[in-house]
Chains A and B, each alone.
Chain A
């Protein structure tokens, strides 16, 4: 397998001017929905996949992704690059990510402001980082490496968080703005994450959005969350991706779209996955909001042929 990875040098990925997909709503792609999706035929929208699920050599996952990609734009969403960690990026993992970008030519490519690996252990979660000058330099260096490898800008996603670090010296929006300015990366604004973090960390979601560099947002995520309580019985929200988008998140979303104009919007649903029509209905709801603001869209809408 290692020889295969080495053979995909960065020259294998041509520099591309990515075709904008405009203000369309998409959904997570779940293999159990493939028969329904193929039967319905090409539709307006796009599908997003977790890159790591397609890093095997072959087999059914690639066949499913090829079938989806034939008729629809694709968003490639990495969840394990550990961009927010102090460790050097995993070169083999970066090569696999680059290989997927070259093979599937996604319309959107994104990763997280988080870390998931320490020493030799992979924790399979999006873990938080302090916002300091040192972590800013490290994150920027990692994003430079990713963008150099894939030869296009990356969209960086704001995290959902449950704790804060005492050593943080800047706010999350300040940090994200600085990363975008230094690296030229775009941003993936997860509105549910904003709502979850604002509730958990006691800040105003509206103020966060007012401080967020919306002009750099190239994709939006919407998802469901779950409710728990902390030691004192106060509300603690869990970014669970296991249900419909909450009303409060829809409200924040419409505020963002009114201000930003229509941008590709994804309904994320990763566990307790519903039947396809239920997931599709969430995307229709996002599309209705996007369509009310299409005139402000920065790029022309393009229906999937």
Chain B
């Protein structure tokens, strides 16, 4: 739909903001007829730098791993091809992990997209709705005959991610400035992300734990979740996993099936 007369200025002003190949838009000027080029570039710089900064704030571990120059070049490329659609910057960068997976210069770090996925989930947990976590006493009150049909209501912050690499260890080692010791990246690790109160916690799940947590978070009954987890790993320990998930604050309440 063409804009109303006199209201086409954004269509003229916007396209060159994230495209350095385009020239300064027509119709702009500096004082006394001076050129607008260097002045328009201030907007270009503000837009690009602020969006790169937004990605750096969401993905600090990725930036620490790659170094600032590598990160900013990768982020600039992402910002130019995928500018945010929402004015809420904490929603930005959802497609950045997939971008990293395809980014030519990052192919030597195949675990990097999963580290980014954990960082994105960390921020989602940080902003998720507040809710009181489930008290362990609630589970002890359930009679054994009803356990198989038991459904757990997930906490709004709870998330589970699986990785073929040691993504949780790499994430945890790079979220602060402490020195990093050698990590064997080839060990698969699954992450549980929760925020029962104020602080986001990222845990490594035991064998079968991610299948189990995924099932419960998606609302499938306990019996079904345990069977799937055992199928995934013969080492799966149901009692330890339930206790661990409740202690981590992954749920808010219990419901029995058929509700």
Contact = CB atoms under 8 A, between A and B. Distances in A.
Contact of B4 (A82, A86, A117, A125): A86
Given A134-B4, A165-B9, A231-B38, 7 more contacts: A59-B130, A63-B198, A86-B3, A125-B50, A201-B31, A202-B30, A202-B32
A58 B10 contact: no
B31 A200 contact: yes
B195 interface: yes
Interface of A: 52-53, 55-63, 80, 82, 85-87, 90, 93, 115-125, 127-130, 132-135, 138, 162-167, 200-203, 228, 230-232, 234, 236, 238
30 contacts: A52-B88, A52-B89, A55-B88, A57-B128, A57-B129, A58-B127, A58-B129, A58-B130, A80-B87, A86-B4, A115-B10, A117-B87, A118-B10, A118-B13, A122-B85, A123-B18, A124-B50, A125-B43, A127-B10, A133-B6, A162-B39, A166-B29, A167-B6, A200-B30, A203-B31, A231-B35, A231-B37, A232-B34, A234-B34, A236-B38
B165 interface: no
Pairs A-B, 9 closest by C-beta atoms: A134-B6, A202-B31, A56-B127, A80-B87, A86-B7, A58-B130, A118-B14, A57-B129, A162-B39
Contacts of B54: 124
Interface string B117-153: 0000000011111110000000000000000000000
Contacts of A163: 28-30, 36, 39-40, 43
Nearest to A62: B130
A76 to B, nearest CB: 15
Interface of B: 3-11, 13-14, 17-18, 27-32, 34-40, 42-43, 46-47, 50-51, 54, 83-90, 125-131, 156-157, 195, 198
Contact of B10 (A59, A80, A86, A202): A86
A121 B85 contact: yes
Contact of A166 (B27, B34, B46, B47): B27
Contacts of A133: 6
B6 A132 contact: yes
Nearest to B200: A59
A186 B29 CA distance: 30
A230 B5 contact: no
B129 A134 contact: no
A61 B87 contact: no
A129 B43 CA distance: 13
Most B CB contacts (10 A, CB to CB) among A117, A123, A163 go to A163
A87 B27 contact: no
Nearest to A4: B129
A62 B129 CA distance: 10
A124 B42 contact: no
A165 B27 contact: yes
Nearest to A56: B127
A54 to B, nearest CB: 10
A166 B87 contact: no
B127 A59 contact: yes
Contacts of B86: 122
A132 B50 CA distance: 29
Contacts of B31: 164, 200-203
A200 B28 CA distance: 13
A80 B92 CA distance: 14
Contacts of B29: 163-166
Contacts of A164: 28-31, 36
Contacts of A82: 87
A225 B25 CA distance: 25
